Amino acid sequence: MTTTASNGKLWASVVLLVGAGIPGVTIRLAGITIDPMLEVLVFGVGIVGGAFLLSWAAEVAQMDVSASLAIAVLAFIAVLPEYMIEATLAWNAGESYSQLGVAGSSGVTKEMSLVAANVTGSNRLLIGLGWSAVIILFWLRRRKGFDMRGLLTLEMPMLLVATLLTLIVAFTKSIPIWLAVVFIGAYIYYLWRSSTQEAEEPELIGAGAMIAGFRPLYRRLWVLALFIYSAAVIVIAAEPFVVGLQATGEQLGISEFLLIQWIAPLASESPEIIVAVLFALRAKPDDGLTTIISSQVNQLTLLVGSIVVVFSISASAPLSFPLDYFEPSNFFARLASPFGLQASEFLFTAAMATFAMLLVSTRIVELWHGLTLFAIFVAYLVALWAMNFFGGIDMENVPLRMWSAVILFALAALLVALNWRRVVYIFKGVPHPSDDRHGGEC
């Protein structure tokens, strides 16, 4: 039961987040031109505010719709901020590709070379910051790890399937139309399987819990209003936010790819990570980790598949999406061709996801798991900064990404060599023994 004082704070947070979107919407609709860095700040704050409001509305909506409908609709809503940023990048890529004409059809435009930035950055951010934050903060609060045996029986296998599909993207160095269909099909299958699982009462916290306490009619009106407002803010802010990031990169001489890869996910993913952290602080780390992994599945299926869909619509022709350059028509020639920036990004992302899944596959999650994931995340960023500062092998730092992927795959192989059952645990899960809450393999 919330007190009047706590309700006042929650109302203040709602008003603050609603207000966060107003400047960006006003600037966009009025056609006002502002400095690129200010553009990133204004529209980025709007996306953060919209994402928070959207997450609250999605949580509360579970009280008023059927389980299967809730899963189908809410799963899409959960990735709307990331989807709009990704759709903007793919749309710009399609427009630029169509302008090449027949003579330039063997090239990859600058806009096309940025498409993988958001989806790969989002997933590595969720693992490196999201997973590790849940694990580390729960340990700091309780001085122990946590038990997820009996959980993640759907999410973990689906994340593995999505990761394997991502590997196909990396090695073929393109997203063919048929593979986009498989990605979207995997997403639909995940929704269907989710709808068949036993529904549970949503665990609501913060403003979501406050809105859930309203009378049914008021609650539904609030949910509808939050949905409409937050979705409108995100849709309106996505394009100028991306354009601002690109212009800022040009202005400061910083890689546009890196700005989109790390700044955009920080805006779109922050609500999910914060909600997961709140679960951990409330002694529910399993809910926090499940939320993040579910989001990753949505992204690595729907978002990657939608790249081809949006790209084709924008280019006015059904097209596969080449990652870094025009790929040889022969499949085996594509496999043998060198990795470019975006192909190496997909490979590195798949490697990090593979290692993370194997690390926690026993479902007994310890402090060192979180510290390891965080250390890997930070080590890569430090290495990337150092190579740019001292002058890397090339501006795209493809070798760094390739070697990082090789190291992570080697660590994953080491985990399997030490306990081959980890692979089985990903697919089959680990039953929860009712008489032994904290036993098992680590």
Buried b (16+ CB within 10 A) or exposed e, 104-139: eeeebbebbbbbbbbbbbbbbbbbbbbbbbbbbbbb
Q: What is the CA radius of gyration of the chain?
A: 22
Which 3 state secondary structure label does DSSP give 183? helix
As to burial, measured by CB atoms within 10 angstroms (0-12 exposed, 13-18 middle, 19+ buried), residue 235 is middle
CB 156 within 8 A of CB 433: no
Count Cα neighbours of 56 within 13 Å in the Cβ-side half-sphere: 29
Helix segments in 253-340, DSSP class H: 256-281, 285-298, 304-315, 331-336
Phi, psi of 433 (to 5 degrees): -75, 120
Would you state the pLDDT for residue 102? 46
Would you state the pLDDT for residue 392? 47
Would you state the pLDDT for residue 368? 94
Collect all residues with Cβ–Cβ distance below 8 Å to 232 and sequence separation of at least 6: 25
Would you state the pLDDT for residue 109? 82
**Rounded to an integer, what distance in angstroms lies between the CA atom of residue 102 and that of residue 99?**
9
CB 404 within 8 A of CB 381: no
Q: Which residues of the chain fall below pLDDT 70?
A: 1-6, 65-78, 101-107, 197-205, 325-337, 389-396, 432-442
Residue 305: both structure tokens together: 């598949």
Residue 179: both structure tokens together: 């593979």
First to last CA, the chain: 38
Comparing CA positions, the residue from 334, 341, 339, 319 lying closest to residue 116 is 341
CATH fold label, 4-428: A middle domain of Talin 1 (1.20.1420)
Would you state the pLDDT for residue 71? 54
Would you state the pLDDT for residue 323? 87
DSSP code, position 328: P
Residue ranges of domains in the chain: 4-428
**Helix, strand, coil % (nearest 5) of the chain?**
75, 0, 25
Residue 236: both structure tokens together: 């309106």
**pLDDT (tens digit per residue) in 178-223:** 999 999 999 999 888 887 766 566 666 677 778 878 888 888 888 8
**Amino acid letter at 404?**
S
Helix axes 4-30, 216-252, angle to 10 degrees: 50
